[in-house]
Amino acid sequence: MIYYIYTATETEFIETCKVHLKAYEIQYLSFDALDTFDVSQATHLIVTGCLDEIKLLFAIAHQNVLSIGIVPTEKQKELIRTFALPSKLKEQIALAVKPSEKALDLLYSNGTIVLQEVVVGKVPPLDQFESVLNGKTYFERIKMFVHTMKKVKELKHSQIKVTDAKENEIHFSAVGLVAIEYNNATFAARLVSKQISANDGKLSVVILSPTSIVQYMGYLFQSLVSHLGPKTLPLSVGYIRSAQIRIETKEALSVLVDSSLEQQTPVELEVKEKALLLSVGETFWEKQVSESNGKDSIKIDHLPSDKESTQYLSAAIPFFSHASQEQYTSLFTNLREESRLSQNFMVLLILAAMIATFGLFINSSSVIIGAMLLAPLMQPIVSLSMGVLRQDTALEIHGAKTIVTGVAFVLVTAALIALFTPIEQLTSEMASRLSPTILDLFVAIASGAAAAYAKSNEKILGSLAGVAIAVALVPPIAVAGIGLGWADWSMFSTAFLLFMTNLVGIVLAAAFTFAMMGYSPLHLAKKGILIWMLIVAVVAMPLYSSFLKMKEDIRIQKTLSNITFNVGAHDVKLTHIELVHRAKIDEIRCEVISTGILSKQEKIRLKEVILKSINKEAMVVVTFRYLL
């Protein structure tokens, strides 16, 4: 016999359901009269009720190996989504009355059945259903993001010990975690949907463990605002998959089962494999992992686990990540060693200076790139940035001393080569380093950030070679040295300005990046960063002026390149336009393609048209070419 057990307050809803169940022999029974239920007479169960009532009937079905179907009310939208139940009542009843031949797992929390999730601690937004975003505008999503960010002060780390089914003890620090069995369309399930299966005997635990507000903000923005969402496990999230998990915390944390039943840690989570014959929608099984290897999964290597980090994070989540003492000691030891002047440093730097200088003379970019890779000048600069950040006088002095000495030797080496080389011709490789602009500062800042990030992560330390090429420290010093050898002050000053641009940009950006990665508290880092921001601002003044000149030059070149006009008896067109900036008056050099030889008056007319087009005074130097 089929028993339809329902909540006593839903009599009107049940009367509607009876209309669709006339063809079946069904015994109707309210939960108030459940003590009269003769389970031995039942062949299949149907249930309508609240979550606690449904779970009670699930337990009876599990214990007596009975199949069961759910007829949800309109308000139970999340239940409908979790088990992929039809949206129309007639179809829901048709599914619920048909016994299932395929069993699914049951998750228990301290002996209580779990339908949706178990939440330990605070884990926004992992415990929310994705349906909260349905129909939300971009502005409304941003409001949700801001509202959730306001609660970040309430998030505090706790020491957590997890024991899995194989008695492995896993220790880490987190603000909370979510345990799920089914792909229930929560943000937690979304992150591990490719690992969830409803009949593999495993439960999934998603751990929220942000080490900084910035890190948490990134994940939160992806979840609530971005339509793309995180495709991989974010840095602030960990994952454990096992058949049985015991969660213990140093201080008791709240445990919420299906958003209602409150418990406290410690909590025992256990999966009963293929324990329930529940009638679910077809798409429910489509969302499950088709093949399961049966092995436990643990992905928590990136989560904080050392005692120092746990203590630091238990007070409050910092704005930037905090490097552990082990990380700081390892990096600081390397930087202190690299800041010191050594024989290897000087030999490599002088050889790099020689290669760069010869490469500039022969106008070979590949030779110059080789010099960039060989030069070890990036090492003391990054060390100096750490000294600036930590207000470490010894590290600052050693780093500055090594940089000054290295730069002096590069200048002398390049100047001597220029002095004794019987060539005094400005190549394009030299000229390209004589017009630094604000854009070069931006390159230096990006390179400094990359250098600091690569230096702090041994796995990507090889990327420093790419940073060395991008920022090109030695070539501008070599050009400045050539300027000294040729006694050309303008060449020396502009090339050396490019080096100074690279230097201050790298120091500031590297210091700021180290601060973001937690290698110094902000109150200590603030002074050094502010000083170097002021230095960068001073250097940026002539760079911005150069940028404006470059912008003006591009405008003039573009204006003149489009001119084709008649100066009298002949038509002319300007090509190969070049601007040369002089101390007194700028020069405009170009080629003039003419239909014939211009007269004196036509030349005067040509000059007037050029100057009028660019709206500035300049000396015009032209080369004539004739169109035959």
| pTM for the model | 0.67
Domain that holds residue 339: 325-546
Whether 213 and 68 share a structural domain:
no
pLDDT of 465 strictly over 70: no
pLDDT of 308 strictly over 80: no
Q: What mean pLDDT, rounded, does the chain reach? A: 87
Whether 7 is in a domain gets the answer: yes
Confidence class for position 481, pLDDT limits 50, 70, 90: very high
**Any residues with CB less than 8 A from the CB of 448 and at least 6 apart, and which?**
385, 471, 505, 506, 507, 508, 509, 510, 513
Whether 334 and 308 share a structural domain:
no
| Calpha distance 485→316 (Å, rounded) | 58
Q: Which of the listed residues 263, 282, 315 is the one where a domain comes to its end? A: 315
Per-residue model confidence as pLDDT tens digits over 338-367: 888 889 999 999 999 999 999 999 999 889
Q: Which residue do the tokens 């941003």 mark?
A: 142
* The two structure tokens encoding residue 286: 């489509």
Whether 527 and 581 share a structural domain:
no
| Calpha distance 560→370 (Å, rounded) | 39
Over residues 261-274, the mean pLDDT reads 90
Confidence class for position 459, pLDDT limits 50, 70, 90: low
Confidence class for position 324, pLDDT limits 50, 70, 90: low
Whether 441 is in a domain gets the answer: yes
Could you tell me the CATH number of the domain that includes residue 595? 3.30.300
Whether 72 and 51 share a structural domain:
yes
pLDDT for the residue numbered 58? 93
Whether 345 is in a domain gets the answer: yes
Whether 277 and 235 share a structural domain:
yes
pLDDT of 94 strictly over 80: yes
Whether 105 is in a domain gets the answer: no
pLDDT of 307 strictly over 70: yes
Whether 554 is in a domain gets the answer: no
Whether 237 and 208 share a structural domain:
yes
Whether 551 is in a domain gets the answer: no
Q: Comparing C-alpha atoms, which of 183, 182, 16 is closest to residue 93?
A: 16
Could you tell me the CATH number of the domain that includes residue 344? 1.20.1080
Whether 122 and 87 share a structural domain:
no
Could you tell me the CATH number of the domain that includes residue 87? 3.40.50
- Give percent of the chain above pLDDT 70: 94
| Calpha distance 370→367 (Å, rounded) | 5
Per-residue model confidence as pLDDT tens digits over 206-223: 999 998 888 888 888 888
> Is the separation of the CB atoms in 294 and 141 below 8 Å?
no
Whether 127 and 14 share a structural domain:
no
Whether 542 and 603 share a structural domain:
no
Confidence class for position 133, pLDDT limits 50, 70, 90: confident
Confidence class for position 471, pLDDT limits 50, 70, 90: low
Over residues 537-553, the mean pLDDT reads 85
Whether 70 is in a domain gets the answer: yes
Over residues 447-456, the mean pLDDT reads 83
Over residues 70-93, the mean pLDDT reads 91
Confidence class for position 241, pLDDT limits 50, 70, 90: very high
DSSP string, 132-167: GGTT--HHHHHHHHHHHHGGGGG---EEEEEE-TT-
| Calpha distance 482→491 (Å, rounded) | 8
Confidence class for position 464, pLDDT limits 50, 70, 90: low
pLDDT for the residue numbered 458? 63
Domains in the chain: how many in total?
4
Q: Which of the listed residues 290, 315, 340 is the one where a domain comes to its end? A: 315
Distances (CA, A) of 585 to 123, 580, 604: 67, 9, 19
> Is the separation of the CB atoms in 477 and 503 below 8 Å?
no
pLDDT for the residue numbered 482? 94
Whether 138 and 265 share a structural domain:
yes
Whether 508 and 570 share a structural domain:
no
Whether 372 and 488 share a structural domain:
yes
Q: Which of the listed residues 266, 286, 315 is the one where a domain comes to its end? A: 315
Three-state DSSP class for residue 530? helix
The b/e string for 272-311 (b: 16+ C-beta within 10 A; e otherwise) is beebbbbbbbeebeebbbeeeeeebeeebeebbbeeebbe
Whether 138 is in a domain gets the answer: yes
pLDDT of 293 strictly over 70: no
pLDDT of 461 strictly over 60: no
